[in-house]
A and B are shown apart, each in its own frame.
Chain A
């Protein structure tokens, strides 16, 4: 009797309760746990998606659902804090959406809707379509221009005479103040290789962007590299660059990581001087690395004939790769981002059959100056129980 009473008392008072997760209602989708320990405390707001619905978690561990039934992916908050841009997916296409951070009905910024139409030239009768993919919007510092990934240029027969399904998504930009203007092509992809992903502007350098490029190398080996590029290089040099197959495609992007290793999902530090990225170690394990940003590889204002893909510049682009430092390795480590103040990083990891958000304190090694993680600072922020969409990147804002 006494033992039972003691257990009841212990349970009621929470004595000896080692569960660090505080249950949070996610609406009709159930509940998730949020780490309420001091180690998991953070400042600002973290936007992420659960079961394709957008949520925001603030530093007081208040979880708020912002959308319902829109298949939301990759939210991004404008630097002025007014807007949230995200992609909303449908069966054959996706739209770019905007909604106020204060809440409200999302508005469509750009539609990818279209239709299939016959393609008599196809021997198998495969039709063509005007549907488009629009994904991964990210903001410029002006809170007006967005970078995004899309196959918007499909059905445009270019110099390489390739179109349709071989046109993989590439990077474009648009202005939310003039959404009817045709978006500007920023970076080309190689047809059929998978396209480009993870674009973002370099903080403090609006003339530089970074992204992941997927290509095939010799012997059909997969090459996944991180590139930097001047977002206006293609527009400023018409007929110099073109999309197409590997033997035809030309793009001003400069790889900053070696092709021998698969590196992707880059994220600039708030000061713009360091890139945090993922390296695939094997089929299930990934590592987080940081590397300094190579300077002067996207353009030279003093050299009108600057060629970003010259052999000399390509070598310069890879110069910092050797200074990459490993932060951590784990199961399905992915989608790293920085906290707005640069003191923490956020990433996804896989444990107990579920993807979850983890955070860690990052700091510079006093001796080497390289970034390291504060020992024992890694902490699981969420216990999403399978509800976190691991292919949708989170966004951390003030």
Chain B
């Protein structure tokens, strides 16, 4: 959004198409000089009026509720500042980490904060009727019915102005008065060589018969624009060609480009921005931890965030859930931490089994998949986005607490999103290499009224066939259909990925982008920004898959509990491998077999206690905000970003980095 703002601001204030014409057009001569206020020409008129209007709005008018426009940088209000002015619904010790600039208004539903935002600069461009009256030259404010823009548009300029204040834009001659007066016609204002009638001038004596002005004379007190300046000298000689061909071409081409740009921008705002804003740039709501000494809630402070590409070590948490959480708090069946060391080009994936027993802050000991669900439930609201942010925050905290791994970013994926993407692509056509038989396949997608722990049976016939979204998900997820375990599963995933990316690689991918984003909307949530996505996408596409270390904390890193279905961590095994993978001194909290409910209160780790002050948090927020303003948002950014979002989704669904490589 801010990128868009910068782009538009630039086009209006710094590098207008008119400016690009200035050097060439300023070389022309024989241009009538008009007062500075009367700088004319379509573009200059437009810029003047729009900028004036915007300045006027910026100083007085609030942005309408729901507007996604952003203020000029000088008038921007940081997220933190807005939060100060209008407290977020997330109150108390809770805070929203990195609730980025793409956060939609839905996540900060506070009208007070919004009304304090500067005006929407993305408002459609309008004709200058909105221009304040005082900004108009008094000579042209002749009649309230006078459509100046129309008059300008119908009076193409023939020369470029030599007036430096005109920016060298093509300058219109005295505008031909359009037929806006009753009982008049445009012929009344003609003044061509050879005319025998008196020239158009305010000095023409009233009452003298003059057929050309007969109608005008009937309108006492109405004077044509520019009448006080008399007729331009250039019009007093022989008739010249009004508009050079090259100027027509440049003007037309510029208008065409503006039209295209406007269309693309409108398309982006209508079709892409709403979904994109709901997916990326979200936050992670961290819950208060309770000190082990006195039970006093302790705010963790903001976690310092910086652009992923500027960090040497990046840890991204991928959370995969069965449902979108519309009916119940979803579990996170997939908990994968991707770690990237930019210096050594090391990439690792740590899969934490959903059944691993961990210490969940403020929730005692439980399964890893429950951490996300508890966070969701603790938030307790009806907004799935906010609930997911809380779930992600608690999942991050849980991993930090239990393994000492700091999470920089997260992405939460609902498996139903994968189904939708496949269906949007029209399904995939694959050759099922052998019959897929599974009696204990998780029935956790589109299982209305059922339990997340339900099972279902699969029997997928072998041979070439078309798979729709649900079938494709079944095909790539089943684990019991191959004696060769994950090798066979990986092979199936590669099949589907190849088929899917083959379909998405078609020329109409760009046209599919909005629908793909809509498919992901509600099923994919991340605190990453487009810059982060570009970074991750680049890493994913260039990584050597053979060098990716994939560790799953299944046995021998864990051992089955003797009393329930949990797996208890074997710290002597986990600590070394996590330390090696993440370049840290890993933590590991031993778990007790058979524990249930709230267990011992988790002590705060130094990481949280050394939390940044609120001032620091503001600085970090501003710093982060300024960083993502950098590059302009282009269609390539969006398309690439969408593809990286798809890659993230596929990596989460397949629990493999291969998904982003195909």
Minimum C-beta distance from A125 to chain B (A)? 5
Q: Which residues of A contact B483 (CB under 8 A)?
A: 192-193, 216, 220
Residue of B at shortest CB range from A124? Answer: B565
Contact present for B480 and A165 (CB under 8 Å)? yes
Instruction: Report the stretch among A229-237, A280-288, A315-323, A337-345 that lies at the interface.
Output: A280-288
Minimum C-beta distance from A241 to chain B (A)? 21
Whether A391 contacts B463 in the complex (CB less than 8 A), given A126-B440, A131-B457, comes out as yes
Contact present for A125 and B565 (CB under 8 Å)? yes
Contact present for B459 and A169 (CB under 8 Å)? yes
Minimum C-beta distance from B283 to chain A (A)? 35
A93 contacts partner chain B, Cβ-Cβ < 8 Å: yes
Contact present for A348 and B464 (CB under 8 Å)? yes
Residue of A at shortest CB range from B484? Answer: A220
Contact present for A390 and B463 (CB under 8 Å)? yes
Q: Which residues of A contact B429 (CB under 8 A)?
A: 332, 350, 353, 355
- Encoded as 1 (CB less than 8 Å from any B CB) or 0, chain A from 160 to 174 comes to 000011001100000
Question: What's the Cα separation between A125 and B429 when bound, in Å?
Answer: 34
B481 contacts partner chain A, Cβ-Cβ < 8 Å: yes
Question: What's the Cα separation between A272 and B431 when bound, in Å?
Answer: 28
A194 contacts partner chain B, Cβ-Cβ < 8 Å: yes
Whether A284 contacts B462 in the complex (CB less than 8 A), given A91-B456, A165-B439, comes out as no
A128 contacts partner chain B, Cβ-Cβ < 8 Å: yes
Whether A123 contacts B464 in the complex (CB less than 8 A), given A116-B455, A332-B429, comes out as no
Interchain CB contact (< 8 A) of A222 among B433, B437, B439, B463: B433
Interface residues of A in 92-127 (CB under 8 A from B): 92-94, 116, 123-127
Q: Which residues of B contact A129 (CB under 8 A)?
A: 439, 455, 457
Residue of B at shortest CB range from A332? Answer: B464
Residue of B at shortest CB range from A331? Answer: B464
B248 contacts partner chain A, Cβ-Cβ < 8 Å: no
Minimum C-beta distance from B485 to chain A (A)? 9
Whether A265 contacts B426 in the complex (CB less than 8 A), given A169-B437, A220-B483, comes out as no
Contact present for B438 and A386 (CB under 8 Å)? no
- Encoded as 1 (CB less than 8 Å from any A CB) or 0, chain B from 459 to 487 comes to 11111111000000000000011011001
B263 contacts partner chain A, Cβ-Cβ < 8 Å: no
Q: Which residues of A contact B438 (CB under 8 A)?
A: 165
Contact present for A197 and B465 (CB under 8 Å)? no
Question: What's the Cα separation between A286 and B487 when bound, in Å?
Answer: 23
Contact present for A135 and B459 (CB under 8 Å)? yes
Minimum C-beta distance from B178 to chain A (A)? 38
Minimum C-beta distance from A375 to chain B (A)? 25
Contact present for B431 and A151 (CB under 8 Å)? no
Q: Which residues of A contact B437 (CB under 8 A)?
A: 133, 151, 165, 168-169, 194-195
Question: What's the Cα separation between A125 and B567 when bound, in Å?
Answer: 13
Q: Which residues of A contact B498 (CB under 8 A)?
A: 283
B560 contacts partner chain A, Cβ-Cβ < 8 Å: yes
Contact present for A280 and B431 (CB under 8 Å)? yes
Contact present for A194 and B426 (CB under 8 Å)? no
- Encoded as 1 (CB less than 8 Å from any B CB) or 0, chain A from 380 to 391 comes to 000000100111
Contact present for B456 and A265 (CB under 8 Å)? no
Contact present for B465 and A391 (CB under 8 Å)? yes
Interface residues of A in 354-369 (CB under 8 A from B): 355
Residue of A at shortest CB range from B487? Answer: A220
Q: Which residues of B contact A216 (CB under 8 A)?
A: 483-484
B631 contacts partner chain A, Cβ-Cβ < 8 Å: no
The winner among B355, B432, B456, B461 for most chain A CB atoms within 10 A is B461
Residues of B in contact with A, size category: 20 to 34
B501 contacts partner chain A, Cβ-Cβ < 8 Å: no
Minimum C-beta distance from B446 to chain A (A)? 11
Minimum C-beta distance from A341 to chain B (A)? 26
Contact present for A283 and B495 (CB under 8 Å)? yes
Q: Which residues of A contact B463 (CB under 8 A)?
A: 264-265, 278, 334-335, 390-391
Question: What's the Cα separation between A212 and B435 when bound, in Å?
Answer: 11
Interchain CB contact (< 8 A) of A197 among B435, B466, B484, B560: B435
Question: What's the Cα separation between A133 and B481 when bound, in Å?
Answer: 15
B126 contacts partner chain A, Cβ-Cβ < 8 Å: no
B36 contacts partner chain A, Cβ-Cβ < 8 Å: no
Contact present for A123 and B462 (CB under 8 Å)? no
Q: Which residues of A contact B434 (CB under 8 A)?
A: 193-194, 214, 222, 224
Contact present for B464 and A165 (CB under 8 Å)? no
Q: Which residues of A contact B565 (CB under 8 A)?
A: 123-125
Interface residues of A in 232-288 (CB under 8 A from B): 264-265, 278, 280, 283-284, 286
Q: Which residues of B contact A194 (CB under 8 A)?
A: 434-437, 462, 481
Minimum C-beta distance from A212 to chain B (A)? 8
Question: What's the Cα separation between A355 and B466 when bound, in Å?
Answer: 8
Minimum C-beta distance from A32 to chain B (A)? 15
Interface residues of B in 232-262 (CB under 8 A from A): none
Interface residues of A in 193-226 (CB under 8 A from B): 193-195, 197, 212, 214, 216, 220, 222, 224
Q: Which residues of B contact A197 (CB under 8 A)?
A: 435, 461-462
Q: Which residues of A contact B480 (CB under 8 A)?
A: 165
- Encoded as 1 (CB less than 8 Å from any B CB) or 0, chain A from 73 to 107 comes to 10000000000000000011110000000000000
Minimum C-beta distance from A226 to chain B (A)? 13
Minimum C-beta distance from B419 to chain A (A)? 16
Residue of A at shortest CB range from B483? Answer: A192
Residue of B at shortest CB range from A224? Answer: B434
Q: Which residues of A contact B459 (CB under 8 A)?
A: 94, 133, 135, 169
Question: What's the Cα separation between A126 and B439 when bound, in Å?
Answer: 9
Residue of B at shortest CB range from A333? Answer: B464
Contact present for A286 and B484 (CB under 8 Å)? no
Question: What's the Cα separation between A91 and B438 when bound, in Å?
Answer: 12
Tell me the A residues contacting B by CB distance below 8 Å. 73, 91-94, 116, 123-129, 131, 133, 135, 151, 164-165, 168-169, 192-195, 197, 212, 214, 216, 220, 222, 224, 264-265, 278, 280, 283-284, 286, 332-335, 348, 350, 353, 355, 386, 389-391
What are some 10 contacts across the A-B interface (CB < 8 A)? A92-B457, A116-B455, A127-B440, A127-B455, A129-B457, A133-B457, A193-B434, A194-B437, A222-B434, A350-B429
Tell me the B residues contacting A by CB distance below 8 Å. 355, 426-427, 429, 431-440, 455-457, 459-466, 480-481, 483-484, 487, 495, 498, 560, 565
Give me the 4 closest cross-chain CB pairs, A-B, nearest first.
A165-B439, A332-B464, A194-B434, A391-B465
